[in-house]
Amino acid sequence: MNLIRRFLGYIVPSVDPDISKQIDRMSMRNIHRISMIILAFESLSFVVFLFANARSFGHNEIVTTICVAYCLLMCGLAVFFSKKMMEKKDLTRSECITFKVFFFVVFSLWAIFTDYRHYKVGEQMLTFYSVNLIMTCFIIFKPWIGLILSGSSYLVLYLTLYFFDRAAGIEPLNFIVLAFLTIACNAVHYHSHIYSCKKERTLLDTNQALEEASRRDGLTGLRNRLALEKDARDTSGDHMTAFMIDINYFKEINDQHGHVVGDQILKETSSILKKLFPSARYYRYGGDEFLVLTYRPAQDNYGANTYDFIHEASGVKVSLSIGSAQGDPASYYELFLLVSEADKALYMVKERTHSVECGGHERRKMV
């Protein structure tokens, strides 16, 4: 029973919808490319055929012309529709399956008819096997669909030859082995694409995680300057307020209480900023400086230019200076001009808070 379940799981696999969509798009690209190649090859062969039989154009030549014209028409349609489907952003699974099945059926029927004509005059049947090889290599079907389509095409060919002369020129065992190999190759082909798509997704997710990590400050979890550089390129001209925040006398905090306490204060400051400026973008601008960008109306933002809190673990009194600037930056350059204005406003605040009149010297004696 376990072996049967594994076999059924292989034939009817459960696949992530995103991977199925990726495989379908890959099939569309393959159909587009192979159709263009066949179209070019058959066109050239047709020109050579017409040139060689220009003086003796009989019934067989007319039938051959009709077969080649059918092939050229189907290839042209396949090129056209596969291109249209690749351009669609909302391509559905049913559309892909329908198109792939249609492509398989029309070319299999053409191959069966062509090889039936070859069989009747004692020639080798190469077209059908070539078409099946192309289908197996370039069109990616789920194993159970490939089983039905390939099995049916081999059965139709065999029955066609059987009704002609009981398929006297066919060795049944060899025919069955070829059909089995075609079906097996299609299944292996499909599962190999599932594996490669999963590996590609894992690699993509890893790269995205690494890219995201490179744009995050490792201590506070806020965005860093690299993230700001990227975000600035998406500036759209909406009204914005930029806040530059600095921890007053942070060097003295580190000197008197150690870098462990200093790191804890940086992390707590980042949490406080999220409460003071909700629905904003937060950056650790550098050292003990932070940048907040918000699209909220000015009156909805924190209005004071200072904020004090006590770091409970150490009892250190912490004071923040806050400078702000408003504008409608429409470009990378204009955004950094706005940040520069907020930075200037911050230093004006720091000049006041660090002055003797505001108790600047007393603030150096941290509690």
Residue finishing a domain among 154, 177, 210: 210
Pair (229, 308) in one structural domain: yes
User: pLDDT, tens digit, for every residue of 46-65?
Assistant: 899 888 887 788 888 889 89
What is the tens place of the pLDDT at every residue in 4-22?
888 888 898 888 888 888 8
- Domain shared by 338 and 190, yes or no: no
Answer whether residue 146 is part of any domain. Answer: yes
Q: Are residues 35 and 164 in the same domain?
A: yes
DSSP symbols for 120-158: HTT----HHHHHHHHHHHH----HHHHHHHHHHHHHHHH
Full domain range(s) for residue 345: 225-363
For residues 202-230, give the mean pLDDT.
91
Q: What is the pLDDT of residue 294?
A: 95
The answer as to whether 220 is a domain residue is no
Give a yes or no: residue 217 inside a domain: no
Q: What is the pLDDT of residues 56-94, one digit of tens each?
A: 888 888 898 999 999 999 999 999 999 999 998 888 888
Q: Tally Cβ neighbours within 10 Å of residue 228.
A: 19
Rounded alpha-carbon distances, angstroms, from residue 220 to 70, 217, 244, 268, 290: 67, 6, 16, 8, 11
CATH number of the CATH domain containing 284: 3.30.70.270
pTM: 0.69
pLDDT of residue 272: 95
Note whether residue 9 is domain-resident.
no
- Asked if 229 and 353 sit in the same domain, the reply is yes
Question: Of 183, 210, 237, which one is at a domain's C-terminal end?
Answer: 210
Are 49 and 164 members of one domain? Answer: yes
> How many structural domains comprise the chain?
2
Q: Are residues 244 and 358 in the same domain?
A: yes
Residue 6 falls inside a structural domain: no
Mean pLDDT, the chain, as a whole number? Answer: 90
Residue 222 near residue 46 (C-beta atoms within 8 A) = no
**pLDDT of amino acid 124:** 87
Same-domain pairing of 171 and 26: yes
Work out the pLDDT band at 357, boundaries 50, 70, 90: low
Integer-rounded Cα radius of gyration of the chain:
36
Residue 153 sits in the same domain as residue 258? no
User: Which one, of 86, 84, 102, 114, lies nearest residue 141 by Cα?
Assistant: 102
Same domain, 71 and 150: yes
Q: How many CB atoms lie within 10 A of CB 173?
A: 8
The verdict on residue 251 lying in a domain is yes
In SS3 terms, 180-219 reads as: HHHHHHHHHHHHHHHHHHHHHHHHHHHHHHHHHHHCECCC
pLDDT exceeds 70 at position 359: no
320: confidence class by pLDDT, cuts 50, 70, 90 = very high
For residues 51 and 190, membership in a common domain is answered with yes
In a domain, 205, yes or no: yes
- Do 246 and 198 have their domain in common? no
Residue 81 CB partners (closer than 8 Å, separation 6+): 99
Q: What is the pLDDT of residues 152-201, one digit of tens each?
A: 999 999 999 999 999 998 999 999 999 999 999 999 999 999 999 999 98
Band (365; pLDDT cuts 50, 70, 90): very low
Whether the per-residue pLDDT at 243 is higher than 80: the answer is yes
Res. 269 pLDDT band, cuts 50 70 90: very high
**Predicted confidence (pLDDT) per residue in 279-288, tens digit:** 999 999 989 9
Is pLDDT at 309 greater than 90 in this prediction?
Answer: yes
What pLDDT is recorded for position 17? 87
**Does the pLDDT value for residue 354 go beyond 80?**
no
In a domain? residue 349: yes
Residue that finishes a domain, picked among 210, 237, 254? 210
Q: Assess whether 92 and 196 both reside in one domain.
A: yes
Q: What is the pLDDT of residues 106-145, one digit of tens each?
A: 999 999 999 999 999 888 888 999 998 888 888 889 999 9
